[in-house]
Structure 1
Amino acid sequence: MTEIYWFQQDLRLRDNPGLLAHCRAEPLLLVYFWPANRPWCNLTGMGGQRQRFLAESLQSLHAELAALGQKLLVLQGPPEVGLAALVRQTRASLVGTSRSPGYYERHCLRRVAAALPVALKVHPGNTLFTRHDLPFELEQLPVQFTPFKDKVLGLPVAEPLPAPARLPAPPPFEFQPLPAAAVRASAALPIRGGAPAGQRRLRQWTQAGLADYKQTRNCLDGLDGSSTLSPWLALGCLSAREVVAAVQAHEQVQGESESSRWLVYELLWREFFHWRARRDDISLFRVGGAKGKARLSTFDPRNFARWCQGDTNFPLVNALMRQLLETGWMSNRGRQIAASCLVNELGVDWRYGAAFFEKHLIDYDVASNYGNWQYIAGVGADPRGGRHFNLEKQAQQFDGDGQFTRKWGGVRPRQPDFAVDAADWPLPPEMS
């Protein structure tokens, strides 16, 4: 009987339990739906570099599937409409997919299940642990990271599953050409989408970069010190369990170190945000988060536009935003600095910044992106109630010689300091 497997954030063959569960079907139709804009689509959508990385990842997956006699069908439109039509056309008996965190993702699965005339089988997503592995119910998930880490750090991480040695053939179907990338990778960050590229980076970095990671992880330029694995993790070209296995293999030869432990901690941060997104649901997008305690903010379109384009009075922030626009990437340290500027210096609602990052980041992940923005704004997991970075101190500490700021043209013409409201009336001094 024909089955359909719907790829989402699992664009890989290795360690893909959902795909493996459907490998006994005959025939098997493999499909992916190009992401639709969220409701605030004028701001989000996808920037050029994010589109490029996704298109390359799909093309890479298609090539890997072709080597096993399979094909990938990429469609536009709502999955609930497209999958129901495919079931009718192929007379499929089952549809499978993997779970992704997020309120809209959850409702998409509900709409798909309601529209299908057959069962929808949802498999675990790209996490280190399943929900049944966690030593607490999801409703009792620790609010902050440290108690979460303490509870899960000793849990065993399952070995990655091998890629399928064979795949069933696809049903007779008219497969359309895959989307092509409209832009090229930036020379400043020449990384390509797809599982093979992610595997190469993982091997290269564990051999040459992991030993010093604790000291280099705050480098602002990609590939200089960061692992830069997040783009492949976000699309599921790499699984989180594959990265842990590579770290463990490194430790067997080189021994456990502060650097190797730090990378595992960062994977646990990713894990924490995944389960927070599952628990918080729609609160992940609310101005006050799950706490419901919104901070005072505004929306000055000029300040927001200057931040987006890298034309503020903060040279390091400008450089970071210009790096994001050209490459689709920004270091974790850079994201904290840029977010603090928007929230604290410019007083803009944090959700506008999160949506702008969603548009451009090649490693966009709904749980990590919105979870980290809530952390900076003080409405999420931060025990201090928010982070306000001293931008001059950050520049001295992480770009002391100004090389990064010069490279990305961070010094811009000075903008007016006075603040005005939406009608261009100056605000009182105590509010400006």
Structure 2
Amino acid sequence: MRYEKALVWLRNDLRWEDNLTIKKATELAKTILPVYCLDPRQFGPGDFGLQKTGVHRARFLLETLRDLQEQIAAKGGKLLFLRGHPEKEIPALAREIGAGVICFSQEVTGEEIQVEEALEKEAWQHGIATESYWQATLFHIDDLPFPVNQLPEVFTRFRKECEKMASVRPLETMTEPVRFAIVPETISNKLPDLQELGYDQAAQEPAGDMPFKGGSSAAWKRLNHYFWKTAALADYKNTRNGLLGADYSSKFSPWLALGALSPRQIYWEIRRFESEKTKNQSTYWLIFELIWRDFFRLMAKKHGNRIFQLAGIQDKSGYRKEDREVFSKWSAGKTGIPFIDANMRELNQTGFMSNRGRQLVASFLVNDLEIDWRWGAAYFEQQLIDYDPCSNWGNWMYIAGVGNDPRSDRYFNILLQAKKYDPQGEYIARWIPELAKLTGFDRHIPFQLSSKTLKKRGVKLENDYPVPLVSPENWSI
């Protein structure tokens, strides 16, 4: 051990188990002090007149931090909370407690890298070492069969090469007990609540079919339910495009986004499930999705800030409308197209939306409304509890035709999709109660029903529900 104390700056790695940064810190120093810094830039204005972090994201983060705080307390330590710019606050704390090294996990997008570099510069000026570690992906970056700058642009090739030539590392384990540094009494250590961060406390309770709770404790409870109690994993490939209920998909993404659950933890639990229960296309398909997550993260590392630009990584020029009124109707779930509106209302009320829904609302915004795709990506950044910059912006580029999609016409027929995935309109009835008076597929097409039918069902277009923003005539079913 080279240092008396190590400061562990936690970021999107909010778990104790399988945490390489914490493990390395325990190897570098006699004692460690974990700390999380709430950066005010993450809770203020975002791009395109939106908020950086919405209330659902903020709630989920605070729950995750509280859970980790309790886990560390049970081990005899403290998780410190700072408020301010990490590049200033973290080195200042290191100086105050006499830490010789700051350990942290590496990120890949511009804002995060700027903070890392500024922190390292500040620490160096005061003689404090920094050590950073890669641990957010399923395959470690050092184990890839190609350097990042030669990463295949098409996912299929990336996946096949990784599956053939790379392997998933075992979980990181620590020798217990870990020794924690003593925290000076002069240091305040209060986790703020939503109101202190500037949110309306009354807006914190989501209303979805599955109550998402932050923290690795809740993550493992969910994993045990999905794998071992219900064996829903065994049917994942068949149900993953569902819309209603808790178990149509794994729903691990919110915990993955904050690092309350690592992709390797999921991977090795899948392998255990395959050896003890069953191995089939569904068990593989969840691994397949984890590899997609790796792909988007590595694409962000390869292309840098191009993933946030209108032309994307393909440098495709083109004009997109900047119609704030139309965008507001899309984001509020008031487009007059029930399948789009239901998905947007679920997002707004819960902070979550199905994978199928995300593709449909993105296609509608980009292709039907012709709005700048970055507006939609920024709105998802504000709303989603599973927001991850790489996956979010990568997927939006994909739909907009400026990303890694080998196809250039990723367009969805909304009514055809509705007929396939919600033929009886149950999803519509769940999120647009004003259309629940209609029956079956009529809930998707109130604009095609006769005045007589609408009157009989007690529905008035424009009064109860808006008329469509676009003509549905192009969507033959």
Common fold by TM > 0.5: yes
Alignment of 1:165 onto 2:165: no
Gaps of 5+ in 1: 420-432
Alignment of 1:184 onto 2:188: no
Alignment of 1:413 onto 2:465: yes
Instruction: Tell me, in whole angstroms, the C-alpha distance in 2 between the residues paired with 1:164 and 1:320.
Output: 46
Aligned residue identity for 2:89? G
Of 186-195 and 361-370, the range deviating more from structure 2: 186-195
Instruction: Tell me, in whole angstroms, the C-alpha distance in 1 between the residues paired with 2:175 and 2:191.
Output: 23
Alignment of 1:294 onto 2:346: no
Candidates 303, 315, 320, aligned match of 1:280:
303
5 Å-filtered alignment, 1:387-426, equals: 387-409=410-432, 411=435, 413-415=465-467, 417=469
State the secondary structure of the residue aligned to 2:170. coil
Match of 1:58 in 2: 65
Match of 2:117 in 1: 110
Alignment of 1:201 onto 2:222: yes
Instruction: Tell me, in whole angstroms, the C-alpha distance in 1 between the residues paired with 2:412 and 2:418.
Output: 10
User: Is the contact between residue 379 and residue 386 of structure 1 (CA under 8 Å) also seen in structure 2?
Assistant: no
User: Is the contact between residue 375 and residue 386 of structure 1 (CA under 8 Å) also seen in structure 2?
Assistant: no
State the secondary structure of the residue aligned to 2:289. helix
State the secondary structure of the residue aligned to 2:35. strand
Of 167-176 and 242-251, the range deviating more from structure 2: 167-176
Seen in structure 2, the aligned counterparts of structure 1 residues 185 and 418 have a Cα distance that, compared at 3 Å, is closer
State the secondary structure of the residue aligned to 1:193. coil
User: Is the contact between residue 195 and residue 237 of structure 1 (CA under 8 Å) also seen in structure 2?
Assistant: yes
Deviation at residue 202 of structure 1 after TM alignment: 1.0
Instruction: Tell me, in whole angstroms, the C-alpha distance in 1 between the residues paired with 2:422 and 2:208.
Output: 21
Instruction: Tell me, in whole angstroms, the C-alpha distance in 2 between the residues paired with 1:177 and 1:164.
Output: 29
Q: TM-score, normalised by structure 2?
A: 0.84
Aligned residue identity for 1:200? K
Gaps of 5+ in 2: 195-200, 436-463, 472-477
Deviation at residue 42 of structure 1 after TM alignment: 3.9
User: Is the contact between residue 109 and residue 301 of structure 2 (CA under 8 Å) also seen in structure 1?
Assistant: yes
Match of 1:426 in 2: none
User: Is the contact between residue 143 and residue 381 of structure 1 (CA under 8 Å) also seen in structure 2?
Assistant: yes
Instruction: Tell me, in whole angstroms, the C-alpha distance in 1 between the residues paired with 2:140 and 2:163.
Output: 14
> Identity of counterpart residues, as a percentage?
37
5 Å-filtered alignment, 1:117-132, equals: 117=126, 118-132=128-142
Instruction: Tell me, in whole angstroms, the C-alpha distance in 1 between the residues paired with 2:104 and 2:321.
Output: 40
Seen in structure 2, the aligned counterparts of structure 1 residues 334 and 418 have a Cα distance that, compared at 3 Å, is closer
Instruction: Tell me, in whole angstroms, the C-alpha distance in 1 between the residues paired with 2:470 and 2:56.
Output: 35
Structure of larger gyration radius: 2
Seen in structure 2, the aligned counterparts of structure 1 residues 391 and 407 have a Cα distance that, compared at 3 Å, is same
Candidates 9, 12, 26, aligned match of 1:9:
12
Deviation at residue 164 of structure 1 after TM alignment: 5.3
**Segments of 4+ in structure 1 off by > 3 A?**
415-419
Deviation at residue 104 of structure 1 after TM alignment: 1.3
User: Is the contact between residue 37 and residue 83 of structure 2 (CA under 8 Å) also seen in structure 1?
Assistant: yes
Match of 2:84 in 1: 77
Deviation at residue 41 of structure 1 after TM alignment: 7.7
User: Is the contact between residue 256 and residue 262 of structure 2 (CA under 8 Å) also seen in structure 1?
Assistant: yes
Aligned residue identity for 2:99? A
State the secondary structure of the residue aligned to 2:81. strand
Instruction: Tell me, in whole angstroms, the C-alpha distance in 2 between the residues paired with 1:221 and 1:175.
Output: 44
User: Is the contact between residue 283 and residue 289 of structure 1 (CA under 8 Å) also seen in structure 2?
Assistant: yes
Aligned residue identity for 2:153? V
Instruction: Tell me, in whole angstroms, the C-alpha distance in 1 between the residues paired with 2:59 and 2:183.
Output: 29
Deviation at residue 250 of structure 1 after TM alignment: 0.8
User: Is the contact between residue 98 and residue 122 of structure 1 (CA under 8 Å) also seen in structure 2?
Assistant: yes
Seen in structure 2, the aligned counterparts of structure 1 residues 296 and 290 have a Cα distance that, compared at 3 Å, is same
Alignment of 1:263 onto 2:286: yes
Deviation at residue 222 of structure 1 after TM alignment: 5.3
User: Is the contact between residue 100 and residue 125 of structure 1 (CA under 8 Å) also seen in structure 2?
Assistant: no
1:75-102 CA deviation, whole Å, 9 max, x = no partner?
2221111012112211211000001221
Match of 2:35 in 1: 31
5 Å-filtered alignment, 1:208-219, equals: 208-219=231-242
User: Is the contact between residue 33 and residue 74 of structure 1 (CA under 8 Å) also seen in structure 2?
Assistant: yes
Instruction: Tell me, in whole angstroms, the C-alpha distance in 2 between the residues paired with 1:128 and 1:363.
Output: 17
Match of 1:429 in 2: none
Of 67-76 and 239-248, the range deviating more from structure 2: 67-76
State the secondary structure of the residue aligned to 2:316. coil
Deviation at residue 418 of structure 1 after TM alignment: 8.0
Match of 1:425 in 2: none
Match of 2:403 in 1: 380
Match of 1:223 in 2: 246
User: Is the contact between residue 99 and residue 124 of structure 1 (CA under 8 Å) also seen in structure 2?
Assistant: yes
User: Is the contact between residue 50 and residue 382 of structure 2 (CA under 8 Å) also seen in structure 1?
Assistant: yes
Instruction: Tell me, in whole angstroms, the C-alpha distance in 1 between the residues paired with 2:330 and 2:59.
Output: 24
Of 384-393 and 322-331, the range deviating more from structure 2: 384-393
Aligned residue identity for 2:95? R
Deviation at residue 156 of structure 1 after TM alignment: 1.6
User: Is the contact between residue 336 and residue 376 of structure 1 (CA under 8 Å) also seen in structure 2?
Assistant: yes
Instruction: Tell me, in whole angstroms, the C-alpha distance in 2 between the residues paired with 1:379 and 1:221.
Output: 31
Aligned residue identity for 1:227? S
Deviation at residue 163 of structure 1 after TM alignment: 5.4
Deviation at residue 231 of structure 1 after TM alignment: 0.5
Compare relative contact order (CA 8 Å, sep 6+) and give the higher one, 1 or 2. 1
Of 347-356 and 174-183, the range deviating more from structure 2: 174-183
User: Is the contact between residue 222 and residue 330 of structure 1 (CA under 8 Å) also seen in structure 2?
Assistant: no
Seen in structure 2, the aligned counterparts of structure 1 residues 212 and 168 have a Cα distance that, compared at 3 Å, is same
Instruction: Tell me, in whole angstroms, the C-alpha distance in 1 between the residues paired with 2:108 and 2:74.
Output: 31
Deviation at residue 125 of structure 1 after TM alignment: 2.4
State the secondary structure of the residue aligned to 1:96. strand
Deviation at residue 108 of structure 1 after TM alignment: 1.4
Deviation at residue 130 of structure 1 after TM alignment: 1.8
1:375-404 CA deviation, whole Å, 9 max, x = no partner?
000000110025110001111111111010
1:287-340 CA deviation, whole Å, 9 max, x = no partner?
111211133311111110001100002101100010001110001111000100
User: Is the contact between residue 189 and residue 327 of structure 1 (CA under 8 Å) also seen in structure 2?
Assistant: no
Seen in structure 2, the aligned counterparts of structure 1 residues 378 and 187 have a Cα distance that, compared at 3 Å, is closer
Aligned residue identity for 1:180? D
Q: TM-score, normalised by structure 1?
A: 0.93
Instruction: Tell me, in whole angstroms, the C-alpha distance in 2 between the residues paired with 1:256 and 1:188.
Output: 28
